Chains A and B, each alone.
Chain A
Amino acid sequence: MIDLLTSNPGFIIILAGFLCAFIPVSEIRKFLVGAAPIAAAFLIYTAFKDPDAAYTTVKAGGQDFIVNRIDRLSMIWGYVFCLAGVLNAIYGLHEKCKITDSSALIYMGAAVAGVFVGDFLTLFIFWEMAAISSVMLVWKGGENSFPAGVRYLAIHVLSGVLLLAGAIIYARSNGMDFTMGEPGEYGFLGLDKPGGLLLFLAMGIKCGFPFLHNWIQDAYPKASITGTVILSAFTTKLALYALARCYAGEDILIYIGAVMTCFPVFFAVIENDLRRVLSYSLNNQLGFMVCGIGLADMSGKFGELAMNGVAAHLAADVIFKGLLFMSMGAVMLRTGTAKASELGGLFRSMPYTTIFCLIGAGSIAAFPLLSAFVTKSMILTAALDTALYAEGYSLWVVYAMLLFASAGVMEHSGIKVPFFTFFAHDSGKRVQEAPWNMLVAMGLASVLCVFFAFPWGGYQFLYSLLPFESTYEPYTGNHVVTQMQLLFAAMLAFALLKKYGMYPDERRAEILDFDWTYRRFGKGIAKWIDAMWARLSANVGVLRKNAIERSGRRLYQMFSPAGTFSESTPSGIAAVLTGGMLVLLFIVIYLS
């Protein structure tokens, strides 16, 4: 039992989560929430020292499950998840909620476990476990969050089903081998492989590909304060890991990633709910990494740089995106809202939160000495080098889109979020500074944001964790200067637009996105069909009595206790059915 528990670093976190469900004392739960990821990180450390010994398979019901195996890619993902787990634990210290503690741990444990598994079946298990446990965090956001949570769950269960279906088709073509490539082998699966498309789609849903992304902006802003912070770290990143392992170097990812970086920029600029702005921003950062995965063609010249960029940017992104969500959470805790139109001038009452938020904003915007300056540039450089190396102009378009998106990030995350919350016109809200534990969590995250880009030993440490040896040199004079040009120019544009009243005001509104198709259009079509059906049946007088207005009611009529299938005095029917069965059997037997 102990062996199994320690075989995969995620398992102890999951176990701690289940324990938390039964522990009534908040302090003990909080200890577990903090200690479990630390213990898991230690397990990763020991496992990586002897990867062969860490390789564990479990046989259940005749099927081998590779529950643990480790290589450099899963190692950095695991460490980052554990780090995020510790920060989230500190951030959530003030909250006394058994369900959040327990589901957060199970969710996080599933994510950690998911990056160390070695086959698709085991991955599927944790894929679904992460989905089911995390929906609790969405539902903890209050009554408004229930429908969003249901949609979230439905989409993630669908993603899991696609994953399983794809895995089965893949394995069948492969002699029932569910293994996800060899350790250290990235991009073993192609879209042309059987089942490849289904697996791609499954990961794409969880990763927020364009048109599959809506669950992020739908669910994340509606989750509880701590819930959003926890959610932002794991789900999409687990999908990103799977994508990196299976599809590294798949060309289409380059273009999907480029589109992903750009389109959220436009939604973020008009969105009023700042947590939703950050959700779009999350999508945009995922785009950089997806693009990087597409560039990480291991047979190519710049594959290693791109893969390193993805891993490094993942580490940076989890921290600074967490930090931004944390600061918005702190604001929401104190003011009760995260709507830009309601906020403003909060630097007067929440100075520390302001500073931390600015550090987060600077990190995501890639100011020198802040994390994305190093990590995002690795991906950009890989794109540039590939474009220079490759023929044709399509990669130049991609590189231009990435540059455009870099300026766009400055708009929504770099300026909009901190400006409208802490500066802009004074909302008159005078609140308390965030609780100490939130400040500590944000402070630590800020330190990490600086550390990951610290020129003297900081980014070098990050390099030591990357999948490949990195020689990328971020602090060249030209890089610093050009990046500063971009950022100063963006700030100047903002200042001038604001000064001359051309910057649009923040207004309350529901911004439509692609989810309109299923939240409104699909519903509308269903209603229309319903109305047409009612009219039709009204016209056909005989059928009128039997008109069934809604599919739900129809099912109910069939299967409910009062329904056809469950009548409580069925002797007559049942006898007839039995006779019918006999006749059927005779016919079949006669024919055979």
Chain B
Amino acid sequence: MDFLSFMPEWLITHGAAVLVIMPLLLGAITAILPSERLAWFVTLFVTVFSTVTAFAILLVIFGGETQLYKMGGWDPPHGIAYVIDGLNAPIIFLICSMALLTTLYGLKSVVAEVEPKKRAPFYAAFMLGMAGLLGMVVTGDAFNVFVFLEVSSISTYVLVAMGASRDRRALAASYNYLILGSIGATFFVIGLGFLYMETGTLNMADIGGILRNLDGGSRVSMVAFGFITVGLGLKLAMFPLHLWLPGAYAHAPTMVTVFLASTATKAALYLMLRFTFTVFDVSFDYVFTVLTFIITGLGCAAMLLGSLSAIFQTDARRTLAYSSIAQVGYMLLGVGMLTAMGLTASYVHVLNHAVIKGALFFALGAFWYRYGITRTEDFAGLGKMMPWTMGAFTLGGLSLIGVPLTAGFISKLQLARAALDRGWEWAVVVIMVSSILAIFYIGRLLLAAYFQSPPEIDGEVVERNEAPLIILIPMWFLALLSIGIGIYYSDFVVQLGQNASDVLLQGDRP
């Protein structure tokens, strides 16, 4: 707790608000800044500051507290409240720290991937997106969630579209994302409308209390649950609502892909957890049925079909994008178990997957940065051409497969144990099969990189050209972190998962 003594008192008490408001304000200012370099420094400042604040908050929450911050001093349910507890504190820290790492990475990659005059607005949109995600995670007000969801979504559409200078298909991908994201958000807000109809309040804790008193409420709240689940399902790329994701990941600028892959779907999953377990409750029949049958089933389908799709991709980014869909499947499977162990496993995988996918997409971005490589067949000889980047990619890939001593192993082990504990042996089989499929789609890339020789251009073997240090540092940080979680910090991460599941299941258990 030494770290906390350095933090000013006001920052911890007002931290929740500062985290959201600072990137919003500075984002707006950044948009009109004349210099891209200045914009980068502002972004860096915001992300560093947010990361430190989020870390302090995480430590406070880890001590067992729950923070309730009343906006403008208005008491909920009339005012808007920001709530930070064991469930969202790690997600907040994840968003802030990933934003920091991607910003570092962006110094070089944005220059390569975004047109000069769009760079300052790019950073502005990035900060707005970050503010949106943080807002959605931190707020305790249901309508506020919708507002921030839209803030983050709209800025994300812009960010994806900025990949157009690298790849024109980014425009189509962004348009797709826009259409589907809007459908998702609309469904979500329709669901909120029904909830308001039923309970007359928008404060999440309040809604939860009233619904429990009504013992699940009438048909209206059932319909609300359906709309909210589908709306959030779209946002978190739940199979088969994932169709926007591969395009968006494949064509966005690398920095955005990393940020999206490791935070956006996670924040949406967080919302789903928050809504299903604390606003609604698993003791309601309809929630229980939907989670046990639909969410679990879709999770397993995602694990298998997503991995299978990943094998057949010709573009490495799409491979990883489909892998992400499969990984969301793992998380949904854990949620569908409705046990403390299942939720812990799911939450652990949320954190681990963010780290792993971050490292992998960083590496892919570096391959593009140096050699313009995105297709899987161009991986030949990368082990010699970019040994350090490929090394990080290898560590990340092994972790994704779930090789022991890596983060991926910890989450898969947790999940398998939870499945056994629930009596679902078949789920262990699904996990195994999906992991074997992962061996194929990662192994394919690794074999090409290490066992094939580098291509020849005009009769000369392509020379080694390692990525710049500022790109290697965040990449290796995540790659080593994924190993570190596998070896040293597994208990810590699992503890975070348990704290989260405690929050979710603090009421009655099924």
Contact = CB atoms under 8 A, between A and B. Distances in A.
Q: Do the two chains touch directly in the complex (Cβ atoms below 8 Å apart)?
A: yes
A61 B490 contact: yes
Contacts of B491: 59
Using C-beta atoms within 8 Å of the partner chain, give the interface range for chain A.
Answer: 35 or more
Interface of B: 169, 172-173, 175-176, 179-180, 183-184, 187, 222-223, 225-227, 229-230, 233-234, 240-241, 243-244, 246-247, 285-286, 288-290, 293-294, 305, 308-309, 311-315, 318, 322, 348, 391, 404, 409-411, 413-414, 417, 420, 425, 428-429, 432, 436, 439, 450-451, 486-487, 490-491, 494
A385 to B, nearest CB: 43
B414 A62 contact: yes
Contact of B241 (A165, A560, A561, A574): A574
A60 interface: yes
A525 interface: no
A509 interface: no
Nearest to A176: B420
Leading 8 A-B pairs by shortest Cβ distance: A592-B289, A570-B243, A61-B410, A574-B243, A589-B286, A585-B226, A559-B309, A559-B312
A581 B169 contact: no
A472 interface: no
Contact of B313 (A157, A560, A582): A560
Nearest to A592: B289
B311 to A, nearest CB: 7
A591 B226 CA distance: 13
Contacts of A489: none
Contacts of B425: 168-169, 172
B176 A591 contact: no
B222 A578 contact: no
Contact of A164 (B175, B289, B432): B432
Contacts of A570: 176, 243-244
Contacts of B285: 592
A99 B449 CA distance: 13
Nearest to A125: B404
Contact of A588 (B176, B290, B318): B290
A589 B172 contact: no
Contacts of B180: 571, 574-575, 578
B290 A585 contact: yes
10 contacts: A61-B409, A61-B417, A161-B432, A176-B420, A566-B318, A569-B172, A570-B243, A570-B244, A574-B244, A589-B290
A556 B420 contact: no
Nearest to A552: B312
A72 B285 CA distance: 57
Contact of A568 (B229, B241, B247): B247
Interface of A: 1, 4, 22, 59-63, 99, 125, 139, 157, 161, 164-165, 168-169, 172, 176, 555-556, 558-561, 563, 565-571, 573-575, 577-578, 581-582, 584-586, 588-592
A60 B179 contact: no
Nearest to A121: B413
Contacts of A574: 176, 179-180, 241, 243-244
B410 A60 contact: yes
A563 B491 CA distance: 42
A176 B413 CA distance: 13
Contact of B312 (A1, A560, A585): A560
Contacts of A176: 420
Nearest to B433: A161
A176 B417 CA distance: 9
A397 B289 CA distance: 61
Contacts of B222: 589-590
Given A573-B243, A577-B241, A591 B289 contact: yes
A588 B305 contact: no
Contacts of B312: 555-556, 559-561, 563
A588 B432 contact: no
Nearest to A140: B451
B313 A585 contact: no
Nearest to A169: B425
Nearest to A586: B226
Contacts of A62: 413-414, 417, 494
A585 B222 CA distance: 10
Contacts of B305: 559, 565
B183 A575 contact: yes
A62 B411 CA distance: 10
Contact of B176 (A168, A571, A589): A571
A157 B417 CA distance: 21
A561 B314 contact: yes
Contact of B288 (A559, A591, A592): A592
A60 B308 contact: no
Nearest to B348: A61
Contacts of A1: 487
